[in-house]
Structure 1
Amino acid sequence: MQNPSPKFNYFGIISGALLLILGLYIVLSKTHQNKGLAWFLVVYGAFRLGLAIYTIYFRKNKNEQDPA
């Protein structure tokens, strides 16, 4: 299995962090009333960020163990 190009390796981290920040901004601001969408963005962004970090960590460990 080939690794994707480096620009796609961190796409999950960037998009997860942006979703998390946007969701927290909407939750903490008083002007927005759509708190359900904001909490969904927070949960989805945290999940995407965690999954991206786990995938990069797992891929790095797999490459160190299997040099072929």
Structure 2
Amino acid sequence: MTRNEIVSVLGPVDEAVIADIALTGASLEELREAFAWIGADEALVNEGHAMPSPRVARLIEILEPPEDEPEVPGEME
């Protein structure tokens, strides 16, 4: 998968993310599938889609935003 193909699916992204994606050896279709899972995982399961393959799951890990940082004690919500 080329840099241009990755950007065509994701839009502008960090070069490190592009490199991580390229290193997975995933296809453009697998990247599209991972991107779809990030936006609508519950909907895809409800529609009967099979769970992501290991390669697609790795792409999801790369693309998902990091979890919220732990709360600082005493910080107001």
Scaled to the shorter chain, the TM-score interval is under 0.3
Structure 1-normalised TM-score?
A: 0.27
Specify which structure has the bigger relative contact order, considering alpha-carbon pairs within 8 angstroms and separated by 6 or more residues: 1
Structure exhibiting the larger radius of gyration computed from Cα positions? 1
Structure 2-normalised TM-score?
A: 0.26
